[in-house]
């Protein structure tokens, strides 16, 4: 322990002198004290001297420097599988009744020597000990990643993974164990017996189709120990079989893929079912059918790209928009285009410095959204006057994301990626004037971040307009592929831009937003907005919602007011179709919004119920742990305790404590004053 002060040493001496002088003057200046006992007088003087000196020392910002040793016990993390597959076998009742007690006994035994944390996982993971085995999907890698994020700086002694080894979401957990750098002890649950079974492994399909078109459906069929059996794979819609194929199982471990082309004849959310006929000796009948949902849209918005000349940026934009599937893209030269512009939701002008007068007038007459791309944007159309330098020089400009941009949001991954994008060519800019500019990206020239817009948006007479004032978007798309081997982030930038500009403004006074299709393991959430006559958001009235299931049962809710909007989380619902009606009365008017939500059933845990103990062994072996079976569960605590590498860690760190913060100083001062007062009182001094 060491005392440290911000003042020179002689200030401490001065404090002692002050205490000495004050106590001497108090008790030796009065001549009446000469008649009192010398022992009493010296004692009172000493008590007052100590009290005054300590009080003065507290004013000097004196710190106590101490070396603190803290012992951190090893953390044992139990990651328990909570998915349905654990109770899909013949021992499901035994798992529910006995296993939960056995794992609690293990936890109690480990708590004697370790700091035990328990995680339950299915498609997500959470700290909990309450098992219900209702998880619809299993992602083992997710729980490993969560442990790494939450305990990276902790003394993790070991991880206990209790699972059947079946995962149907996320990546192979083998790739995550090296990052944990800790032994993993696997508890092998479930049944590894291979059954006679034919099952639909997966159904691949489009999420969206367009009315009148056909869309592909890919069915992956597997079978084990059913060689020479004949099966029929069929797809039905509204109880009617629309396509089917016959197949002979030719091997003991059979797998084949079947292609179907389905007609999108009905608009809206459509439910289709894939079925495979069940052989007599098929032991698992829950995985012989699979339902999937497709949202059939009755129209696809058209986007027109008008160019001055061929350019790689045009192909780049066209490919990104086409990936959305909700748009139909048409490319033409501006000088040769003769069709009317009315059918197009968005017009993209590329380097069109001299747009024909007919097209310019038609754009203004139709109040159509326009996105201008290139060094020379159409200032009369965008309403923004960007005055360039008189020469033809260009800057190499990098993109800077504007955090104050509010028209729409982009992902954190895209925000980070924007910092690494290669430079594009831009004209030298002198001034920016005209309509209000809302920039998503601004220009960085060399090391200088400017306010000059690179990708900006504006609005004239309720018409959305945008412009990218650079040349070289194709470089951004290539960089995305080089770094990520895909174009997802670049496509996000283009898609968010196109969606914002092409979506027509909703002028209704009451709006309700929710997902049309949702999985049964996801919570249903609603957002609502109410506007007054000036189109200002308000939360004055109460918004009600009624949800009705397929059997006619109704659920009534009231929205919660959240800032200037409304929010309603109603939790998870079982698979099926639900209709909703939201109501709000504002003034004398009643506004009503209705819709349908389809909750998709998740059958991943029913497809494969054969435990994968080989994966659990591999996880334990490669991490330095051990695989144990359920009948060895009570030995696991002893195995972990005997591991000499799992030990407590002592951390030493220096701690500075202000002297005035020590409570015992107060009690010392109180004690000195109390003794002095008592002696004075007892001897008639007070």
Q: Are residues 116 and 176 in the same domain?
A: yes
Number of other residues whose CB lies within 10 A of the CB of residue 337: 17
Q: Are residues 350 and 472 in the same domain?
A: yes
What are the pLDDT digits (tens) for 620-677?
999 999 999 988 888 999 999 998 888 888 777 677 777 777 788 888 888 888 887 8
What are the pLDDT digits (tens) for 465-500?
888 988 889 999 999 999 888 889 999 999 889 988
Q: How far apart are the first and last CA of the chain?
A: 40
Model-level pTM? 0.59
Domain annotation covers residue 589:
yes
Q: Are residues 479 and 341 in the same domain?
A: yes
For 569-617, the DSSP string reads EEE---SEEEEEEEEEEETTEEEEEEEEEEEEP--HHHH--S--HHHHH
Q: Are residues 360 and 494 in the same domain?
A: yes
Domain annotation covers residue 290:
yes
Q: What is the CATH number of the domain that holds 135?
A: 3.40.50.410
Which residue among 278, 297, 316 closes a domain? 297
Q: What is the CATH number of the domain that holds 284?
A: 2.60.40.10
Q: Are residues 569 and 663 in the same domain?
A: no
Lowest mean pLDDT among 33-37, 207-211, 264-268, 424-428: 33-37
Q: Are residues 494 and 390 in the same domain?
A: yes
d(CA 23, CA 29): 10
Q: What is the CATH number of the domain that holds 579?
A: 2.60.40.1930
Which residue among 247, 279, 297 closes a domain? 297
Q: Are residues 315 and 331 in the same domain?
A: yes
Q: Are residues 487 and 366 in the same domain?
A: yes
Q: Are residues 486 and 565 in the same domain?
A: no
What are the pLDDT digits (tens) for 108-134?
999 988 999 999 999 899 998 888 888
Domain annotation covers residue 551:
yes
Which residue among 265, 297, 329 closes a domain? 297
Name the residue among 622, 660, 502, 588 with its Cα closest to residue 181: 622
Residue 334: C-alpha distances to residues 317, 353, 356, 450, 608 (Å)? 17, 10, 7, 33, 57
Q: Are residues 451 and 563 in the same domain?
A: no
The number of angstroms, rounded, from the C-alpha of 95 to the middle of its chain's C-alpha atoms is 33
What one-character DSSP code corresponds to residue 317? H
What are the pLDDT digits (tens) for 328-358?
899 998 888 888 888 888 999 888 766 788 8
Q: And the tokens for 197?
A: 């079974």
The number of angstroms, rounded, from the C-alpha of 69 to the middle of its chain's C-alpha atoms is 38
Q: Are residues 375 and 327 in the same domain?
A: yes
Domain annotation covers residue 464:
yes
Domain annotation covers residue 649:
no
Per the structure, the count of domains in the chain is 5
Residues 578, 582, 586: CA angle, nearest 5 degrees: 175
Domain annotation covers residue 530:
yes
Domain of 472 in residue numbering reads as 301-502
Residue 454: C-alpha distances to residues 405, 468, 469, 500 (Å)? 13, 6, 5, 17
Burial class (CB in 10 A: 0-12, 13-18, 19+), 273: middle
Domain annotation covers residue 258:
yes
Domain annotation covers residue 474:
yes
Q: Are residues 141 and 13 in the same domain?
A: no
Residue 558: C-alpha distances to residues 93, 540, 542, 555 (Å)? 40, 13, 7, 10
d(CA 30, CA 416): 79
């Amino acid at each position: 322990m060491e005392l440290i002060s911000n003042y020179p040493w002689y200030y401490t001496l001065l404090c002692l002198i002050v205490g000495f002088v004050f106590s001497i003057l108090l008790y030796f200046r009065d001549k009446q004290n000469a008649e009192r006992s010398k022992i009493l007088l010296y004692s009172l003087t000493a008590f007052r001297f100590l009290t005054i000196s300590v009080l003065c020392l507290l004013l000097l910002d004196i710190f106590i420097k101490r070396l603190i040793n803290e012992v951190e016990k090893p953390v044992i993390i139990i990651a328990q599988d909570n998915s349905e597959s654990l109770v899909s076998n013949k021992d499901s009742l035994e798992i529910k009744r006995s296993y939960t007690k056995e794992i609690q006994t293990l936890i109690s035994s480990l708590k004697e020597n370790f700091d035990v944390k328990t995680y339950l996982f299915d498609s997500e993971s959470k700290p909990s000990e309450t098992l219900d085995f209702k998880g619809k999907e299993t992602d083992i890698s997710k729980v490993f990643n969560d442990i790494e994020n939450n305990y990276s700086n902790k003394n993790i002694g070991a991880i206990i993974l209790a699972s059947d080894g079946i995962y149907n979401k996320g990546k192979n957990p083998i790739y995550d164990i090296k990052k944990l750098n800790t032994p993993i002890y696997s508890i092998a649950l479930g049944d590894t017996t291979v059954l006679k079974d034919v099952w639909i492994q997966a159904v691949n399909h489009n999420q969206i189709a367009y009315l009148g078109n056909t869309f592909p459906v890919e069915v992956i069929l597997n079978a084990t120990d059913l060689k020479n059996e004949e099966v029929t794979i069929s797809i039905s819609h509204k109880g009617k079989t629309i396509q089917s194929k016959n197949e002979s199982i030719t091997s003991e471990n059979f797998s084949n893929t079947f292609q179907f082309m389905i007609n999108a004849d009905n608009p809206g959310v459509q439910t289709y079912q894939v079925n495979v006929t069940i052989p007599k000796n098929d032991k698992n009948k829950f995985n012989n059918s699979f339902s999937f949902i497709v949202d059939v849209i009755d129209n696809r918005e058209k986007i027109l790209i008008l160019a001055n000349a061929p350019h790689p940026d045009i192909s780049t934009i066209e490919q990104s928009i086409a990936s959305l599937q909700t748009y139909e893209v048409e490319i033409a030269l501006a000088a040769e285009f003769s069709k009317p512009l009315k059918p197009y939701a968005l017009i993209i002008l590329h380097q069109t410095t001299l747009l024909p007068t007919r097209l310019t007038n038609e754009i203004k007459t139709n109040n159509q959204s326009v996105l201008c791309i290139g060094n020379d944007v159409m200032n009369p159309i965008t309403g923004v006057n960007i005055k360039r330098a008189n020469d033809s020089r260009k800057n190499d400009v990098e993109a800077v994301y504007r955090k104050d941009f509010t028209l729409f949001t982009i992902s954190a991954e895209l925000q980070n990626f924007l910092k690494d994008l290669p430079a594009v060519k831009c004209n030298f800019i002198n001034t920016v004037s005209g309509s209000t500019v809302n920039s998503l990206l601004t220009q960085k020239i060399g090391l200088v971040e400017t306010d000059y817009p690179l990708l900006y948006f504006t609005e004239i007479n309720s018409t959305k307009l945008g412009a990218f004032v650079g040349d070289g978007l194709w470089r951004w798309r290539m960089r995305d592929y080089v770094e990520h081997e895909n174009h997802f982030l670049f496509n996000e930038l283009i898609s968010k831009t196109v969606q914002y500009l092409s979506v027509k403004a909703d002028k209704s006074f009451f709006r309700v937003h929710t997902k049309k299709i949702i999985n049964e393991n996801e919570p249903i959430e609603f957002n609502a907005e109410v506007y007054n006559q000036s189109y200002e958001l308000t939360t004055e009235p109460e918004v009600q919602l009624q949800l009705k299931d397929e059997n006619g049962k109704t659920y009534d809710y009231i929205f919660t007011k959240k800032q200037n909007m409304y929010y309603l989380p109603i939790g998870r619902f079982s698979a099926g179709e639900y209709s909703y009606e939201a109501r709000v009365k504002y003034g004398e008017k009643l506004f009503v919004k209705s819709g349908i939500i389809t909750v998709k059933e998740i059958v991943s845990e029913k497809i494969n119920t054969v435990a994968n103990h080989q994966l659990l062994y591999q996880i334990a072996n490669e991490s330095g742990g051990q695989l144990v079976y359920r009948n060895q569960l009570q030995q696991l605590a002893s195995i972990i305790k005997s591991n000499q590498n799992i030990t407590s860690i002592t951390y030493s760190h220096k701690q500075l404590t202000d002297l005035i913060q020590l409570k015992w100083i107060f009690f010392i001062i109180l004690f000195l004053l109390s003794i002095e007062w008592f002696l004075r009182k007892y001897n008639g001094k007070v």
